[in-house]
Structure formats: C-alpha cells, structure tokens
Structure 1
Amino acid sequence: MADRAARQHSPAGPKAADTPVFSGVAVVASCVGFVLIGALQALYGPAIPALRERFDLTPSAAGLALSAHFVGGVTGVLLFGPLNGRIGNRRTLGGSYLLMAIGAAGFAMAPDWPVALAMALLAGLGFGGVDYGLNQLFATGFGRRSTAMLNILNAHFGVGAVLGPAVIGAVGSERYAAVFLGFALVALPLLLCLGGVRDTGAPETDGHAPPVSTGARIRNRSLGTVLAAFVVLYVLHVGIEAGVGGWEPTHLETVGFGAGVAATATSVYWLMMTAGRFLVAPLALRFSAPSLIAVSCAGMTVCLLLSWTPEFAPYAYAGVGLFIAPIFPTGLPWLNRAAPQARRAGALVIAASMTGGVAAGPVLGMTIEWSGIRTVPLLLGAASALCLLATLWLARVTRQ
C-alpha cells in the first residue's frame, strides 16, 4: 500500500524510475570527468616552480593559482546549482566541461600572471559545475545503488589527484603548459557523451521503497538546523582531509621521520582515501549512510589520536585516509533523502566543503603557531570528534 501511494503521488510516475539517468557510456564518461577534475586540482602545486620562473613570482603569489581555482569552484557550484533546474543536466555539464577546457588552455598559454589567474578562475568555474552536476545526479539517479555509485565516482577523483602530479613529475614542471593543454583536449570528447545523460530530474528510488522514508520527512521548522548540521559535517571533514594532506609531512618530520618517509606516508594517505571509496561501494548496498558515516568518523577520530604517538603516526595517518574516504560521497544521498524539500541543498554542502578546504590551511596554520606542530593530530582529532557528534545527531533526527 505504501509503495502504491508513493507511486501515485510521484510526479514522475513509475516510468521515470525505469528510465536510466545515465547510459553505460555516460557513466564511464562521468568517471573520466572526475579523473580530470581530480587531476586539475592537483596540477597547480607541482607547476609552482615553473610558474615562479616564468612570471617571476614569490611563493605566495604562485600559490594564488590554486586559490583562484577554489574560488572559481565555489562560485561554479553556487552558480550552476540554481541554473541546473532551468537549463537541464546536459547543458550544465556541457557548459562546465567547456569552461574547464578553455580555462586550462588559457592558463597554459597566458601571456602574464593576471591573465593566468583569470584562466584558473574560469577553469575553477567549470570544475565546480562538473563537481556539483555529477555528484547531484549520481546521488539521486541510481536508486538504492546511489551511495555505492557515488563512492565509485568520487574514487576516480582520487585517481586523478594521484595521476596529475605524477604526469608533471614525469615530464618536468617546465612543461606544465603542455600538460594543461593536454588536459583541455581530453576534456572536450566528453561533450560527445552527454547524449547519454537524461535531461529531466533524477528518480529518488528504484521502485522498491518510497522516495523518502517516513522518519526522513523533516519538519520545516527544523530543516534549517538539519542543513546546518550537514554543512558543519562537510566543512569539518574536508578541513580535516586538507589539514592532514598539508601538515602530515611536517608533523612526521617534527617527530623524527625523514623527509622521504614523510613524503611517502602522505602519498599513502591519499592512496588509501581513493582505495577506501572503492572498498566502501559494496558495503553501501548493505548498510545505511548514517551507519557508514558514523563508523567512518569514529575510526577517523581514533586514528588521528593514535597519530599523536610517533611510532604509530605513519600508519595511523593511512587509517585516517581509509576512514575519511566515504564521508563526502555517502553524505549526499543521505542529505537528499533527509531534506527532499530543499532541492538545492546539495549545492550548499558541496560549496561549503570547498570552503572548508580553503579555510583549513590558514586556520590550522594560525592555531599551530600558538600550540606547536606536535598538536596537529589532537587539533584534527577534536574536529573529527565534532564530525562524529554531528553525524550522531543527524542520525537521530532522521531516523525512521
């Protein structure tokens, strides 16, 4: 009876649930798109030595390229979020891929630094549109498999983040322009695969369950609080992700490890994050999103506290990468089920997650100046504990 009522009240009807949001080719192309945005974000750092030489920049000025990329990313999410409902999925993704390709090519061929920064901002706009568009479609477009598919999609982001610096390292930072141009050329064929993306709204269910569980029908007066809790979860966990990636090498060297060991351990951290998303995909078919995220936050907190002990630190940081991996992709389908009346909530939390990544560096840096490098695991562990509290509260208020 409940299933019948849900189908009767669904504006899309039963046929919508049977119509796939993606063709097989479009799914593969989407994963390639996430490899590309992962690589793009990771290319700026290894290119800094060549950028400094070409444009005669200080280290802080050269770092503005990544900042411009992140500013463009946040703007792209907030811009394409409202536009997506008006212009459709294909145009949103197509425009985003074009902006990303044009920005990357323009960054490679920029005659001066201001133009290069403008192109990094443009590429970031496209990055944000792809990030939002595909995350939102995968979060709602595969029924009960959405969480698993979203983890697989975001795992490909990690593949790109590993491959991007590897390519720069192989060809040399002085050839960064050729790498960015190659990136732009690879992005363009993805436009041909957009015919396999359905242009209407994605179904929320696979026909075996109502679109929204009874307990997930949040009252309007508490909707803002629920969204705020999701924002806190996303800002903090992405801040932890960026904080570990940025400060793990320095912390390990401070407690007695060599520079080579510290660099290798940091690479392992990123690899474990990528592996964790592939590994959690089958688990997402058996366990609920609140359970997976609660276990992830608890494991992340324990590993961060263990990394305060020098002999455990490299292994504990690898554990952090494994446990933090599922939080971002697993939280989006949960958000869509918990707050279906806030259709653009996904754009808000994705933008918030990018803001967390931008703010993590300076905020953690200022705190470390006061407390010392050795406190990095404790500071990040405290933030992780807050993630766990937010998750437990959200699990309680959205419980069926």
Structure 2
Amino acid sequence: MLIGALQALYGPAIPAFRREFGLSPSAAGMGLSAHFVGGVAGVLLFDRLYGRIGNRQLLGSSYLLMAAGAAGVALAPTWPAALAAALLAGLGFGGIDYGLNQLFATGFGHRSTAMLNVLNAHFGVGAILGPALVGAVGADRYPAVFLGFALANLPLLLCLKGVRDRSPRPDGGAGESGPVLARSLGSVLAVFVTLYVLHVGIEAGVGGWEPTHLESVGYGAGAAATATSVYWLMMTVGRFLVVPIALRCSAQTIVTVSCAGMTVCLLLAGVPELAPYAYAGVGLFIAPIFPTGLPWLNRAAPQARRAGAIVIAASMVGGVAAGPALGKAIELSGTGAVPLLLSGVSALCLAATLWLIRTTRPS
C-alpha cells in the first residue's frame, strides 16, 4: 500500500511543486520520472544483491531508503535536491517492488499466483488512497504528506522477523508450464519482457489518455476524470476477484483470458456510447497480468535467476515509454484512434501469451 501511495503522490503535488520552485509543467513532471529511474535502478541493484545478503536486510534497507527519500522530498530547499530525493525514494521503491514480488512468487508454492494478486491489489489500494490524502489536506501541504509517509515506513522494520532470509526454489504445479530447454530460454525471456513492456504500456496509456479520448467524443471533463478513476479502481478490484480463480486455474489460462478480454474491451472503447464502460472493463482484465505472469515465469525458467528482475524493470520502462510513444502515434492519427492503437498493442500481448504457452508446455 505504501509503495502504491508513493507513486501516486507526485501527480497531485505538481501544482505545489510549480508554485514553490517556479517550474514549468514538464520540469515539475520530472519528479515522477526521477522516481521511476530510481525504481529501475533499485530493481537491478537489489537483484544483484539477492541471494548474497539476507532477504530481511534487502527489505529493511529498502524501507529506509524510501523513508529517507520521501523525507528529502518534503524538506528539499531546491528542485534539484527534491529530484535527488525522489531518485533515492525510487531506489527503495524498486527494492521493495522487486523483493516482495520475488518472495511472493517463490514462497507460497501453488498459492503464489493468488498471493501475488493479493499483494498487487494492495498496491492499487495505496494508489487510490494517496491522491485522496493529498486532496484532503491540500497540495500546498505536500511536505506534511511526504513526511508522514516517511514515518509510516519505519514500523515495517519491526515486521521483518516473519521473512525467511533465504528463498526456496520455485516448484512446479499441476497443470502449470514445465521448465524450458536451455536453447529456448533466451526467446522465452525476450517474449516475457515484451509482454510486460506492452501490457504496462497499455495500462499507462489508458490511464494517461482516457480522459482526452472521452472528451474528444463528447463527454465532459468531470465525467472523463470520473471514468478514469473507475478504470484504476477496477484494476484493484480485478486483482482481488482473481484470487479464488488463481487457486483453481493455471497462470497461463488467466493471462490468456485477460489479454483476450482486454483486446475486446479496447475495441469496444471505440464506440462513444460504450467507451467509459469499456475502459472499466480494460482495468478489470489487465489487473491480473502483472502478478500472474511472475510465478509462470519462475516455473518456466527456474534456471534464469534474474528473470524476475528483468521483467519487473521492463514493466517500469514500459510505463515511462508509453506516454511519448503513444503521444507521437496520436499526433499522426488523432485522438479518436486511442482505443484502436491500444487494441493493436493488446493483440500483440495475446499473441505473445499464446506463443509462451506453446513454448513452455510440458513435454
């Protein structure tokens, strides 16, 4: 919940950043970019340390880095200092994102898929509550919000005794994929990375461009903003709803149905009367892909220890790259083409999933 809230705090604080430091909109947006750069670095750094030092030390140091970075954003006297603090907070964010996802993917056996959806659903809860908190206290009081966030990290240091210092090997499960052959490993990892980059690009693309598209087809600004909030809410709801399904169905089945449903909903979003409801459906179907793909990857490629870190880092890169790439495509084709463009990307996600199922099927 805390890392979900942290990621969502920067946007509502942008007006206050601009007033306090005299920034342009693009310069103020660099705060979130610095956070994501730190996040990618944190994933890759803590992956290098994974297995060399204990899991408790990895998580504990991540909590401290995130707390220190958030306090730095609150107290920074200049914008470069605030950016450095956001980078530091992102470093801890990446360590926690990687550490918890990796531990949940390997630590719960056949329940890993269900537990990962529970974990990532609470990320969504935090992402909903963070902006609500800034809205309640006022953007000008963002230092108090970031300081409160920093303090909220510290009690987590007392809750590390339940974390095993060494992770078990991922196990296979009935109906799941088998380990891929060494000669196929590179291709499997490349397609997993592609799936994660593309689906996070869709996630960020809908979140960023849904309001613009809805306004272009006749909806008011307020209705468009509400519909976008519903989209993010449905992502959280979807992860909770898939938990009992994950105990009965394989990860491959869940990801396939999710990609197919996401593609259909994006095509329906091209119909103005259906668009707000279709975007809510996209949130529902896209929700399980990130947490469900990780245990599938761990079972399919247990010999590739760094695979989880690579796809988690790739997902962050997808979120960063989605805005400029989709913006350029919209410049060429117009705002009305948003759902069609995204449905094409979603179809590629479905094709990647079907290829992975065929390649990782047990012999």
In the alignment, structure 1 residue 222 sits paired with structure 2 residue 188: no
Q: 2:175 and 2:216 mapped to 1: Cα distance? A: 49
Q: Secondary structure at the match of 1:204?
A: coil
Equivalent in the alignment of 2:100: 134
Q: 1:204 and 1:388 mapped to 2: Cα distance? A: 25
Equivalent in the alignment of 1:371: 333
1:35-114 pair list within 5 angstroms: 35-114=1-80
Q: Pick the aligned partner of 1:356 from 300, 318, 335.
A: 318
Q: 2:174 and 2:78 mapped to 1: Cα distance? A: 52
Post-superposition offset of 1:344 = 1.1
Whichever residue aligns with residue 93 of structure 2, its letter is F
In the alignment, structure 1 residue 258 sits paired with structure 2 residue 220: yes
Tell me if the contact between 1:212 and 1:337 (Cα under 8 Å) persists in the aligned partners: no
Q: CA-to-partner distance for each residue in 1:46-75, whole Å, 9 max, x for gaps?
A: 000000000010000000000000000000
Post-superposition offset of 1:204 = 2.5
Q: 1:36 and 1:202 mapped to 2: Cα distance? A: 26
Q: Secondary structure at the match of 1:195?
A: coil
Equivalent in the alignment of 1:19: none
Q: 1:49 and 1:376 mapped to 2: Cα distance? A: 27
**Structure 1 unpaired stretches of 5+:** 1-34
Equivalent in the alignment of 1:121: 87
Q: Secondary structure at the match of 1:217?
A: coil
Q: 1:339 and 1:272 mapped to 2: Cα distance? A: 31
Q: 1:381 and 1:258 mapped to 2: Cα distance? A: 24
Alpha-carbon distance change, 215 to 194 in structure 1, aligned in 2, over 3 angstroms: closer
In the alignment, structure 1 residue 181 sits paired with structure 2 residue 147: yes
Q: 1:225 and 1:349 mapped to 2: Cα distance? A: 13
TM-score (norm 1): 0.89
Alpha-carbon distance change, 212 to 91 in structure 1, aligned in 2, over 3 angstroms: farther
TM-score (norm 2): 0.98
Post-superposition offset of 1:146 = 0.4
Post-superposition offset of 1:212 = 9.4
Alpha-carbon distance change, 82 to 189 in structure 1, aligned in 2, over 3 angstroms: same
Two-structure CA RMSD over aligned residues (Å):
1.1
Tell me if the contact between 2:176 and 2:296 (Cα under 8 Å) persists in the aligned partners: no
Q: Pick the aligned partner of 1:321 from 272, 283, 286.
A: 283
Q: 1:215 and 1:158 mapped to 2: Cα distance? A: 28
Post-superposition offset of 1:213 = 8.1
Q: CA-to-partner distance for each residue in 1:23-82, whole Å, 9 max, x for gaps?
A: xxxxxxxxxxxx000000000000000000000100000000000000000000010011
Larger Rg computed on CA atoms: 1
Q: Pick the aligned partner of 2:111 from 142, 145, 167.
A: 145
1:25-36 pair list within 5 angstroms: 35-36=1-2
1:275-286 pair list within 5 angstroms: 275-286=237-248
Tell me if the contact between 1:212 and 1:338 (Cα under 8 Å) persists in the aligned partners: no
Tell me if the contact between 2:195 and 2:349 (Cα under 8 Å) persists in the aligned partners: yes
Equivalent in the alignment of 2:127: 161
Q: Secondary structure at the match of 2:51?
A: helix
Q: 1:393 and 1:213 mapped to 2: Cα distance? A: 17
Q: CA-to-partner distance for each residue in 1:139-183, whole Å, 9 max, x for gaps?
A: 110011000000000000000000000000000000000000000
Whichever residue aligns with residue 339 of structure 1, its letter is A
Q: 1:82 and 1:338 mapped to 2: Cα distance? A: 21
1:207-246 pair list within 5 angstroms: 210=172, 216-246=178-208
Q: CA-to-partner distance for each residue in 1:258-280, whole Å, 9 max, x for gaps?
A: 01110000000000000000000
Q: CA-to-partner distance for each residue in 1:74-125, whole Å, 9 max, x for gaps?
A: 0000100110111121111011110000000001000100000000000000
Q: 1:99 and 1:212 mapped to 2: Cα distance? A: 40
Q: Once superposed, which parts of structure 1, at least 4 consecutive aligned residues long, lie more than 2 Å away?
A: 202-205, 210-215
Tell me if the contact between 1:218 and 1:398 (Cα under 8 Å) persists in the aligned partners: yes
In the alignment, structure 1 residue 194 sits paired with structure 2 residue 160: yes
Post-superposition offset of 1:202 = 2.5
Whichever residue aligns with residue 316 of structure 2, its letter is M
Post-superposition offset of 1:217 = 2.2
Post-superposition offset of 1:221 = 1.2
Post-superposition offset of 1:216 = 1.7
Tell me if the contact between 2:56 and 2:163 (Cα under 8 Å) persists in the aligned partners: yes
Q: 2:288 and 2:139 mapped to 1: Cα distance? A: 32
Equivalent in the alignment of 1:4: none
Post-superposition offset of 1:211 = 6.9
